[in-house]
Amino acid sequence: MTTDTLVMETTSYASIAKAKQEPAWLSQFRAEAFALVSQLALPKLEKTRIDRWNLGGLGEYRQGKQAATAAELPGDLATLIGENPSPNLLVQHDSSVVYVRISPELEKQGVILKSLEQAAADHPELVQKHLMQAVKVNENRLTALHAALWNGGLFLYVPKNVVVEEPIQAIYYSESPASTFAPHVLIIADTNSSVTYVDNYLSASAEEPVLHNGAIEVFAKPGAQVRVATVHDLGKHVTDINNRRAVLENDARIEWIVGDLSFGNCVAETYSILNGNGSSSDMKVIAVGIGDQRMDYTTRAVHFGKASNSDMITRAVMRDEATAIINGITKIEHGATKADGQQTERVLMLSPKARGDANPILLIEEDDVKAGHAASVGQVNAEQVYYLMSRGISKAEAEKLIIYGFLYPVIEEIPLETLREQLSSLVERKIGR
């Protein structure tokens, strides 16, 4: 670690205290986390030399301008949101949340949607009890840095037995590389509640580097059902670090849908901790890498609960000189009888210089379980291209069909139509040539 980064980290850290008044417990929390930053090492990743990456671009905390209506948001955001913004929407612009709306019906039922910063002031007991409890502060340098620097963020609480039909939406937008961009998403779904949360990570084009060091934590209480869909469409200048984690109690369920269509380097782990009996987790990750992107994806399910269930699918398309390391880790702990853990990782490479590694790992400590994995890494099948071309389809079009075909079975499983369409068009944009 160079002195430069340390200076930068200190500046970023100091900027938060200067910019705003936070509850004492939170300042203390940040200070303790920050003290750990210089003591901890970067995460050790299989075959990804993150220590050689440019992890600069932390920026400083800058208070954003609040928008009274969606139309007042900066240009790109206003366009994205359109004329009919979702009634349940939170928007973060650089370091801070600038827009948040929740429908009166949901509010009446006790659903809380606000920036995490605001929630830390309004609901300290709830936030304190959960913040950085799924992802731990002291896991590595990046988690400690996130805990010290997080800003804006989202807090979503769904009370007992409340079923939220409309998806809760969020947009995280990095415009200025001078601003810290580290939202933290904290979702608490109380007993037998149900909610869908959908977010987008976007950036304006910029030359200066940006480090997005983000985290999503989900706590699903007994019988709760949570669906989290996250789509990343960040520019080449953004290094994207993500820790997504869910802690599941008895009979709780999480569905993760991850679409990674960013243009910069990326490390992401999507992780379900199946503590409860009968809990279940479903993960679908699709990713497209182009240029010289380096991507490191881990899906992980750890089973403690009896008869807990997990399924993980990752499909990645790598073009040009892009490299993807795809790890799937299913761990079934002793005592998790009748657990079932399945995983699949597939990488399709479109050029001889593209690289993909699929590493399925099963760690089983219990006898009475089911576990399975499938992994494949390959290039576009020449026989398939020939078949399509023999019907008059050009080579480029044939390859495109095969690539969509590779991702489509995952996309079509996504239960939200708008999200399916968005993912399809982002995929098209990224691999269309």
Partner 1 sequence: MAQGPVLKIEDLRSSIEGKEILKGLSLEIKGGEVHAIMGPNGTGKSTLASTLMGHPKYEVQGGSVTLNGEDVLEMGVDERALAGLFLAMQYPSEISGVTNADFLRSAINARRGEGNEISLIKFIRKMEEKMKELEMDPQFMHRYLNEGFSGGEKKRNEILQMMILEPSVVILDEIDSGLDIDALKIVAAGVNSMRAEDRAFLIITHYQRLLNYIKPDFVHVMMQGRIVKSGGPELAERLEAEGYDWVKEELGIEDETVGNEDKDDFVMPMNTAAPKFS
Which residues, 313 to 352, sit near partner 1 by CB under 8 A?
Answer: 352
Q: How far apart are CB 350 and partner 1 at their closest, in Å?
A: 10
- Tell me the window of 217-225, 257-265, 287-295, 394-402 that interacts with partner 1 (CB under 8 A): 394-402
Q: How far apart are CB 291 and partner 1 at their closest, in Å?
A: 20
62 vs 400 by CB, closer to partner 1: 400
* Total residues binding partner 1 (CB under 8 A): 30
369 vs 398 by CB, closer to partner 1: 398
Residue in 2, 3, 79, 390 binding partner 1, rule: CB under 8 A:
390
Q: Does 359 bind partner 1 (CB under 8 A)?
A: no
Q: Does 375 bind partner 1 (CB under 8 A)?
A: no
68 vs 382 by CB, closer to partner 1: 382
- Please write down the HEC assignment for all residues of the chain: CCHHHHHHHHHHHHHHHHHCCCCHHHHHHHHHHHHHHCCCCCCCECCECHHHCCCCCCCECCCCCCCCCHHHCCHHHHHHHCCCCCCCEEEEECCEEEEEECCHHHHHCCCEEECHHHHHHHCHHHHHHHCCCCCCHHHCHHHHHHHHHCEEEEEEEECCCCECCCCEEEEEEECCCCECECEEEEEEECCCCEEEEEEEEEECCCCCCEEEEEEEEEEECCCCEEEEEEEEECCCCEEEEEEEEEEECCCCEEEEEEEECCCCCEEEEEEEEECCCCCEEEEEEEEEECCCCEEEEEEEEEECCCCCEEEEEEEEEECCCCEEEEEEEEEECCCCCCCEEEEEEEEEECCCCCEEEEEEEEEECCCCCEEEEEEEEEECCHHHHHHHHCCCCCHHHHHHHHHHHHHHHHHCCCCCHHHHHHHHHHHHHHHCC
Q: Does 386 bind partner 1 (CB under 8 A)?
A: yes
Residue in 381, 418, 429, 432 binding partner 1, rule: CB under 8 A:
381
Q: How far apart are CB 255 and partner 1 at their closest, in Å?
A: 21
Residue in 27, 54, 69, 394 binding partner 1, rule: CB under 8 A:
394
Residue in 189, 307, 407, 423 binding partner 1, rule: CB under 8 A:
407
Q: Does 362 bind partner 1 (CB under 8 A)?
A: no
Residue in 372, 409, 415, 432 binding partner 1, rule: CB under 8 A:
409
User: In whole angstroms, what is the distance from residue 118 CA to residue 22 CA?
Assistant: 9
Q: Does 433 bind partner 1 (CB under 8 A)?
A: no
181 vs 406 by CB, closer to partner 1: 406
Q: Does 420 bind partner 1 (CB under 8 A)?
A: no
- Tell me the window of 1-9, 51-59, 167-175, 382-390 that interacts with partner 1 (CB under 8 A): 382-390
Q: Does 126 bind partner 1 (CB under 8 A)?
A: no
User: In whole angstroms, what is the distance from residue 173 CA to residue 95 CA?
Assistant: 9
Residue in 18, 39, 382, 417 binding partner 1, rule: CB under 8 A:
382
Q: Does 417 bind partner 1 (CB under 8 A)?
A: no
109 vs 359 by CB, closer to partner 1: 359
List interacting residues with partner 1 (CB under 8 A).
Answer: 352, 376-379, 381-395, 397-398, 401-402, 404-409
